[in-house]
C-alpha cells in the first residue's frame, strides 16, 4: 500500500511456512493478551498509559497501586521458551542440534526434572529432529540434514520430555560405564535417603509417598543394570 | 521538561482489542450482562455497551478517546455501542495485517512506515464511506428493507393496513429486547408507542415530535423506584419534581391560573457583594439604619402579591428559593408556591402553556398568566410532586401533553429503564430523520463519470447521463431484519463493487478498501451467531440467495417509474423478513459505519503522547495530567 517507488529495493516475497507459523503464534498470543487484559479491566484494574519496558504491553494497575504486566507475569514468555537455561524443551532441542551438527559423542547431560526418581525409557535411539515450535530448532532443522537413523524403535514422543535422554547406542561403551555408575549412585543415594525418612516418618501420607519413591528408585536401578549388561 | 511518548499501530490495536474483549461476551441476543458493584455495595446489572465502557478505569489516552467516541455516537443514535467497538477492532486488525503485508513494507520496515500505510488506508476508507457508501446502501440494502409507517402507533395485532408485525412497536420491541430483558420488551414498547401517539403533532412529521421528546425527555419522565416495571404508565400533563412549599388547598380539579417567576419576589436584603448606601436619597433624617430599607422591601412584596391576587393567580412556580416573608404572604393569600423548579421543567412548562415567565416583579402582565386544567399534588413512590395539566391551545392541535412514569425495583434499575427509553427515542429519531444531502454527495454528481463510482456498471443498461440527475436518498423509516442481514447484504454489495472497480480500471491499490470493509462487516454476524455456527451459515445462504435472485429488479422499477425515489416493491416487505426476526434501522447502521471510520482515522492520526503537568481542558477531562497531540510524521512515504 505504500506509495513509495522503491519497490525494487525490497523484493517482497510471501512469508514461508515457518514464518507463517510464527506470525500465527504471535497473533494468537496477542489475542490471549487482549482477552486477559479485558478480564482484568472488568475486575476493576486500571489501564495505565504506560507500556512495559520488557515486552511493550500496556500496563495494568490494581487497587493496591501495584503495576501488572499481563504478558510478562502471566503468559509464558515468548522468548524465554527458547532459552535453554530456563526451559527443558529448549535444552533438549539444543542437545539434539549439537548432535546433528557434530557427529561426536553428545555431552552426557540430561536435565533432571524429577530429582532423579523418574523412570527412564530404555530405548536408546538416535534422536531425530522433530518439528519443534521454537525458532531455534526450526532454524537448526532447516540447516542440516539428519544423519541416517539406526533402525531402532522410534524415540518415545512425550515421555522423553520428562525422562532424561539416553545417550545413543553407538560403539562407545567406554563412555557409557561412568555415566551409568553415576546414575546408579545417585539413585542409590536417593533410595537410602527415602529409607531413613520412611523409618522416621509418622504420617500415613508421607509413608505412602516414600514407598512409591522407593519403588521407582528400584525400577530405575533395574533398568540401569539391564543397560549395563 | 515535557515527556513525549511515541505511540505505534500496535498500541492502538492492543487498546481496541482489549476493549473488544471487554464487551464481547455481552454482545448479541445471547450476550450476558455485566454486574457492577461499587465500593458502597451498590450493584447494577447492565448490558449497555456505553455503560460498561464508561465504568472501566482507563488512563490510557487512546482507550479514553475510543470510549468518548462510543459515548458520543450513542448519544446521537441511542444504539450500537458494542457493534461500534467490534467493527473498530476488526477493521483495525485488517488494516494492521494489510499494512504489514504491503509491498515495500517487509520485515525491515520501520514502524513509522507501517503507521503511515495504516493511516493512508484509514483515510481512504473514510473517503469511500463519505462518498459511495450511502449509494451502495440505497441500492443494495434498502430494497430488501421495508419502510415502516409512521402514521399509526397501535399494537401490532390491531393494524390492518400494515402487514403483521411491521410497525413502530415491533422496531421498539426488538430494541428493548437487546437493551433490557426479554420479559418486559413488549410492554415497554407499547408504553413508548402510547407516549408517541399522544405527542405526535398531526400536521408535522414524526421526526419533529421525536426531536421534541428527545430534547425534553428529562422533564417528561419521572422515575419511581420500589415498584415493578409493569406499573409504569403514561399520565396526563406534566409532573414537576418538587413539592408545594405552601399548603395546597385545592382538592378538586378546577382550572387554575399560574405564573412562572424567575426572580425573587421580595428584593433580597443583602447579597454577597452588594453595598447598601444608607441615608442617601435626599432624606434629612440624619439616621442611617437598615430598617427603612427592609420596610420598603416588605411593602413591595405585598404589592406584588396583591397584583397577583387581582389577576386571579393561585399557583406560583419559582425558579429560586423565596424568602420566608414571601412564603408567609403567599400562604395568607391562599396561593400555592413551588420553589426551586429546574430550568428544563420551567422551559417545558412555558412552552406548553404558551406564557412568558415574569422577569420583573413590578411588571406583571396578563400574558404572564397561564390557565391550567388542574394543579394538584401527586404521590409517586416515596415522593410527592406537583401535577399540572394544560388546557388545549390552538398551537398544539391534537396533541395531549403527557409524561411517563417509569417504575423499577431499585433506583439503578429504574435509571436503566429511563435511559433505555431515551435511547429508544433517539434511535427512532435517527430512523425517521430526513436524510440530509451532504456537500460531498451534491458535489460528486457532476464528476461521476471520471471516477470509479459506477455501482451498477455491469447492470446498468442505459446511459449513465440520466443517472446524474438521480439522487439516491434513503427513505425515512427504513428497517431491515435484525440478526446480521444488513451486514450480509452490504458485504455482498461491497464485494461486487470492489470487483467492478478493479475490473474496470486504474486505481487498483493492492488491497481494496471495499474488501477491507466487506471482511470487517462479517465479524458482526459471526459474533451474533458465535454460539451456533449453523445459523450463521443458514442466514448467510438465505440472504445471498435473495441478492442473487433480484439483481435487476430495482433498476427495472426505476426505469419504469422514472422517479428518483427508492422504491419498496409496493407495500410488502420482502421475503427476507420472518415473523420472529427482530427489526433494526438502516440509517442507524449507516451512521454507525461512518462513526466507526471517523473514530478510526482520528485514532490512527495520534502518534505521540505528551504528558503535561497542568490541566488543559478542565471541562472535559477529569485526569488532567495527560494530553494528546498528533505530531507530524517523521518519515515521509
- Between B201 and B143, the higher pLDDT residue: B143
The mean pLDDT value for B606-612 works out to 81
Classify residue A93: in a domain, yes or no. no
Report the C-alpha gap between A138 and A142 in whole angstroms: 6
Instruction: State yes or no: ipTM above 0.95.
Output: no
Q: Do B105 and A38 touch (CB under 8 A)?
A: no
Task: State yes or no: pLDDT of B8 exceeds 90.
Answer: no
Question: In angstroms, what separates the C-alpha of B518 from chain A's closest C-alpha?
Answer: 18
In B381-507 the beta strands, taken as DSSP E runs, fall at: 383-390, 402-408, 478-481
Residue of B nearest to A15 (CA): B101
The shortest CB-CB distance from A37 to any of B18, B98, B103 is to B18
Classify residue A210: in a domain, yes or no. yes
Q: Do A41 and B98 touch (CB under 8 A)?
A: no
The answer to whether A2 contacts chain B (CB < 8 Å) is yes
The answer to whether A8 contacts chain B (CB < 8 Å) is no
The answer to whether B102 contacts chain A (CB < 8 Å) is yes
Q: How many CA atoms lie within 13 A of B224 on its CB side?
A: 24
Q: What is the mean pLDDT of chain A?
A: 71
In chain A the first and final C-alpha atoms are separated, in Å, by 68
Q: Do A2 and B24 touch (CB under 8 A)?
A: no
Percent of all residues in chain B with a pLDDT value above 90, rounded to a whole number: 30
CA-only gyration radius of chain A, Å = 24
**pLDDT band for position B532 (50/70/90)?**
confident
The answer to whether B518 contacts chain A (CB < 8 Å) is no
pLDDT at A161: 42
pLDDT at B616: 66
The answer to whether B21 contacts chain A (CB < 8 Å) is yes
In terms of residue numbers, what domain contains A211?
A: 178-228
Report the C-alpha gap between B553 and B551 in whole angstroms: 6
Task: Please give the C-alpha separations between residue B497 and each of A33, B311, B446, B502, in angstroms, as whole numbers.
Answer: 36, 71, 20, 9
Classify residue A218: in a domain, yes or no. yes
The shortest CB-CB distance from A41 to any of B56, B121, B637 is to B56
| Interchain CB contacts (distance < 8 Å): A and B | 92
The mean pLDDT value for B240-259 works out to 84
Q: Do B17 and A57 touch (CB under 8 A)?
A: no
Classify residue A23: in a domain, yes or no. yes
Question: In angstroms, what separates the C-alpha of A130 from chain B's closest C-alpha?
Answer: 27
Q: Do A33 and B14 touch (CB under 8 A)?
A: yes
**pLDDT band for position B221 (50/70/90)?**
very high
Residues of B in contact with A48 (CB under 8 A): 59-60
Task: State yes or no: pLDDT of A126 exceeds 60.
Answer: no
Pair B439, B217: CB distance under 8 Å: no
Residue of A nearest to B114 (CA): A2
| Model pLDDT for residues B277-331, shown as the tens digit of each residue | 666 555 555 566 778 888 888 898 999 999 999 998 989 999 999 889 899 999 9
Q: Do B18 and A10 touch (CB under 8 A)?
A: no
Q: Do B103 and A4 touch (CB under 8 A)?
A: no
Q: At what angle do helices B81-101 and B9-24 cross, to 10 degrees?
A: 150
Residues of B in contact with A18 (CB under 8 A): none
Question: In angstroms, what separates the C-alpha of A22 from chain B's closest C-alpha?
Answer: 13
- Between B209 and B569, the higher pLDDT residue: B209
- For residue A64, give every residue at least 6 positions away whose Cβ sits within 8 Å of its Cβ, in sequence order, or none: none
Task: State yes or no: pLDDT of A106 exceeds 70.
Answer: no
Classify residue A103: in a domain, yes or no. no
The answer to whether A43 contacts chain B (CB < 8 Å) is no
The mean pLDDT value for B340-368 works out to 88
- Between B56 and B548, the higher pLDDT residue: B56
Report the C-alpha gap between B599 and A166 in whole angstroms: 60
Q: Do B20 and A38 touch (CB under 8 A)?
A: yes
Q: Between residues 145 and 184 of chain B, which touch chain A (CB distance below 8 Å)?
A: none
Task: State yes or no: pLDDT of B371 exceeds 70.
Answer: yes
Q: Do B14 and A3 touch (CB under 8 A)?
A: no
The CATH architecture to which B238-400 belongs is 3-Layer(bba) Sandwich (3.50)
Pair B57, A47: CB distance under 8 Å: yes
Question: In angstroms, what separates the C-alpha of B118 from chain A's closest C-alpha?
Answer: 9
Q: What is the mean pLDDT of chain B?
A: 78
Classify residue A49: in a domain, yes or no. yes
DSSP, collapsed to helix, strand or coil, labels residue B403 as strand
Task: State yes or no: pLDDT of B466 exceeds 80.
Answer: no
Which of A109-123, B14-28, B318-332, B581-595 shows the lowest mean pLDDT across its residues?
A: A109-123
The shortest CB-CB distance from A1 to any of B14, B34, B99 is to B99
Task: State yes or no: pLDDT of B275 exceeds 80.
Answer: no
pLDDT at A19: 80
Could you tell me the pTM of the whole model? 0.72
- Between A90 and B21, the higher pLDDT residue: B21
Classify residue A35: in a domain, yes or no. yes
pLDDT at A125: 45
Q: How many CA atoms lie within 13 A of A58 on its CB side?
A: 34
Cα-Cα-Cα-Cα dihedral of B19, B23, B28, B31, to 10°? 160
Burial of B41 (0-12, 13-18, 19+ CB in 10 A): exposed
For chain B, the structural domain boundaries read: 3-146+435-475+477-626, 149-235+428-432, 238-400
Report the C-alpha gap between B598 and B600 in whole angstroms: 5
**pLDDT band for position B344 (50/70/90)?**
very high
- Among B405, B396, B417, smallest CA distance to B235 is for B405
- Among B384, B326, B564, B607, smallest CA distance to B467 is for B564
CB atoms within 10 A of CB B494: 25
pLDDT at B109: 59
Length of chain B equals: 637
DSSP, collapsed to helix, strand or coil, labels residue A125 as coil
Which of A165-174, B106-115, B153-162, B236-245 shows the lowest mean pLDDT across its residues?
A: B153-162
Q: Do A47 and B11 touch (CB under 8 A)?
A: no
pLDDT at A149: 42
- Between B566 and B396, the higher pLDDT residue: B396
| Model pLDDT for residues B73-101, shown as the tens digit of each residue | 999 998 889 999 999 999 999 998 888 77
β-partners of residue B315 are: B258, B336
**Count of structural domains within chain A:** 2
Report the C-alpha gap between B501 and B504 in whole angstroms: 5
Which of B268-272, B433-437, B579-583, B600-604 shows the lowest mean pLDDT across its residues?
A: B433-437
Alpha carbon B15 to chain centroid, angstroms: 26
Q: Which CATH superfamily is domain B3-146+435-475+477-626 in?
A: GroEL-like equatorial domain (1.10.560.10)
Buried b / exposed e along A35-56 (16+ C-beta atoms within 10 A): bbbbebbbeebbbbbebbeeee
- Between B442 and B497, the higher pLDDT residue: B497
Residues of B in contact with A47 (CB under 8 A): 15, 18, 56-60, 63
Question: In the numeric block, which cell numbers belong to residue A185?
Answer: 549412585
> Which of B142-151, B163-172, B188-197, B563-572 ranks highest by mean pLDDT?
B188-197
* Mutate: best of B60, B92, B100, B604, partner A, most A CBs <10 A: B60
Amino acid at each position: 500500500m505504500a506509495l513509495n517507488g522503491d519497490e525494487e529495493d525490497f523484493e517482497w516475497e510471501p512469508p514461508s511456512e515457518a514464518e507463517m507459523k510464527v506470525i500465527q503464534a504471535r497473533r494468537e498470543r496477542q489475542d490471549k493478551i487482549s482477552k486477559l487484559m479485558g478480564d482484568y479491566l472488568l475486575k476493576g484494574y486500571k489501564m495505565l498509559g504506560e507500556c512495559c519496558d520488557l515486552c511493550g504491553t500496556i500496563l495494568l494497575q490494581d487497587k493496591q497501586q501495584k503495576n501488572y504486566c499481563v504478558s510478562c507475569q502471566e503468559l509464558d514468555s515468548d522468548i524465554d521458551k527458547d532459552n535453554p537455561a530456563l526451559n527443558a524443551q529448549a535444552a533438549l532441542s539444543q542437545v539434539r542440534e549439537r548432535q546433528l551438527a557434530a557427529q561426536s559423542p553428545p555431552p552426557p547431560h540430561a536435565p533432571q526434572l524429577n530429582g532423579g526418581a523418574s523412570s527412564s525409557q530404555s530405548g536408546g535411539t538416535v534422536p531425530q529432529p522433530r518439528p519443534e515450535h521454537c525458532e531455534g530448532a526450526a532454524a537448526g532443522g532447516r540447516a542440516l540434514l539428519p544423519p541416517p537413523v539406526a533402525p531402532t524403535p522410534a524415540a518415545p514422543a512425550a515421555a522423553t520430555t520428562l525422562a532424561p535422554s539416553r545417550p545413543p547406542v553407538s560403539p562407545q561403551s567406554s563412555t557409557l560405564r561412568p555415566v551409568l555408575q553415576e546414575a546408579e549412585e545417585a539413585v542409590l543415594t536417593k533410595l537410602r535417603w527415602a529409607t531413613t525418612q520412611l523409618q522416621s516418618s509418622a504420617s500415613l501420607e508421607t509413608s505412602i509417598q516414600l514407598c512409591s519413591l522407593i519403588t521407582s528408585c528400584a525400577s530405575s536401578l533395574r533398568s540401569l543394570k539391564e543397560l549395563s549388561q | 521538561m515535557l515527556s513525549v511518548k511515541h505511540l505505534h499501530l500496535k498500541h492502538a490495536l492492543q487498546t481496541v482489542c482489549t476493549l473488544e474483549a471487554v464487551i464481547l461476551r455481552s454482545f448479541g441476543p445471547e450476550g450476558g450482562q455485566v454486574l457492577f458493584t461499587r465500593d458502597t455495595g451498590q450493584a447494577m446489572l447492565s448490558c449497555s455497551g456505553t455503560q460498561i465502557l464508561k465504568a472501566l478505569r482507563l488512563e490510557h489516552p487512546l482507550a479514553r478517546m475510543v470510549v468518548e467516541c462510543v459515548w458520543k455516537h450513542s448519544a446521537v443514535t441511542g444504539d450500537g455501542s458494542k457493534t461500534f467497538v467490534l467493527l473498530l477492532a476488526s477493521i483495525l486488525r485488517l488494516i494492521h495485517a494489510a499494512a504489514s503485508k504491503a509491498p515495500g513494507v517487509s520485515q525491515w520496515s520501520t514502524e513509522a512506515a507501517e503507521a503511515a500505510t495504516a493511516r493512508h488506508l484509514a483515510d481512504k476508507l473514510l473517503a469511500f464511506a463519505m462518498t459511495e457508501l450511502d449509494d451502495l446502501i440505497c441500492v443494495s440494502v434498502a430494497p430488501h428493507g421495508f419502510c415502516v409507517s409512521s402514521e399509526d402507533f397501535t399494537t401490532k395485532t390491531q393494524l390492518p393496513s400494515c402487514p403483521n408485525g411491521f410497525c413502530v412497536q415491533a422496531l421498539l420491541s426488538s430494541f428493548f429486547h437487546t437493551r433490557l430483558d426479554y420479559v418486559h420488551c413488549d410492554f415497554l414498547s407499547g408504553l413508548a408507542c402510547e407516549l408517541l401517539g399522544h405527542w405526535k403533532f398531526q400536521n408535522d412529521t414524526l421526526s419533529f415530535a421525536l426531536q421534541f421528546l428527545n430534547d425534553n425527555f428529562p422533564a417528561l419522565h419521572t422515575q419511581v423506584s420500589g415498584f415493578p416495571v409493569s406499573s409504569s404508565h403514561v399520565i396526563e400533563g406534566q409532573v414537576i419534581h418538587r413539592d408545594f412549599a405552601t399548603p395546597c388547598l385545592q382538592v378538586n380539579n378546577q382550572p387554575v391560573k399560574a405564573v412562572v417567576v424567575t426572580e425573587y419576589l421580595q428584593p433580597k436584603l443583602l447579597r454577597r457583594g452588594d453595598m447598601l448606601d444608607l441615608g442617601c436619597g435626599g432624606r434629612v433624617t440624619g439616621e442611617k439604619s437598615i430598617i427603612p430599607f427592609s420596610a420598603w422591601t416588605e411593602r413591595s412584596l405585598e404589592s406584588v402579591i396583591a397584583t397577583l391576587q387581582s389577576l386571579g393567580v393561585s399557583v406560583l412556580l419559582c425558579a429560586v428559593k423565596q424568602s420566608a416573608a414571601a412564603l408567609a404572604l403567599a400562604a395568607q393569600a391562599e396561593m400555592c408556591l413551588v420553589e426551586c423548579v429546574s430550568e428544563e421543567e420551567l422551559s417545558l412548562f412555558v412552552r406548553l402553556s404558551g406564557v412568558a415567565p415574569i422577569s420583573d416583579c413590578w411588571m406583571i402582565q396578563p400574558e404572564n398568566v397561564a390557565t391550567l386544567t388542574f394543579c394538584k399534588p401527586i404521590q409517586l413512590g416515596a415522593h410527592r410532586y406537583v401535577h399540572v395539566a394544560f388546557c388545549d391551545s390552538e398551537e398544539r392541535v391534537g396533541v395531549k401533553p403527557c409524561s411517563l412514569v417509569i417504575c423499577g425495583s431499585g433506583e439503578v434499575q429504574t435509571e436503566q429503564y429511563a435511559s433505555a427509553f431515551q435511547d429508544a427515542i433517539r434511535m427512532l429519531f435517527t430512523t425517521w430523520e430526513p436524510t440530509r444531502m451532504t456537500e460531498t454527495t451534491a458535489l460528486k454528481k457532476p464528476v461521476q463519470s471520471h471516477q470509479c463510482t459506477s455501482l451498477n456498471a455491469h447492470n446498468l443498461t442505459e446511459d449513465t447521463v440520466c443517472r446524474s440527475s438521480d439522487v439516491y436518498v434513503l427513505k425515512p423509516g427504513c428497517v431491515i431484519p435484525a440478526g446480521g442481514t444488513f451486514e450480509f447484504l452490504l458485504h455482498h454489495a461491497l464485494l461486487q463493487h470492489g470487483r467492478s472497480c478493479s475490473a474496470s480500471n486504474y486505481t487498483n491499490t493492492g488491497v481494496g478498501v471495499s474488501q477491507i470493509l466487506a471482511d470487517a462487516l462479517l465479524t458482526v454476524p459471526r459474533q451474533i451467531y458465535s454460539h451456533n455456527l449453523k445459523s450463521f451459515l443458514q442466514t448467510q445462504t438465505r440472504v445471498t440467495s435473495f441478492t442473487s435472485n433480484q439483481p435487476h429488479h430495482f433498476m427495472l422499477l426505476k426505469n419504469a417509474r422514472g422517479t428518483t425515489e427508492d422504491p419498496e416493491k409496493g407495500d410488502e416487505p420482502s421475503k427476507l423478513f420472518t415473523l420472529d426476526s427482530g427489526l433494526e434501522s438502516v440509517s442507524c447502521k449507516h451512521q454507525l459505519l461512518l462513526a466507526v471510520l471517523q473514530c478510526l482515522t482520528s485514532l490512527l492520526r495520534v502518534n505521540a503522547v505528551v504528558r503535561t503537568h497542568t490541566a488543559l481542558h478542565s471541562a472535559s477531562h477529569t485526569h488532567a495530567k495527560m494530553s494528546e497531540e498528533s505530531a507530524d510524521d517523521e518519515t515521509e512515504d
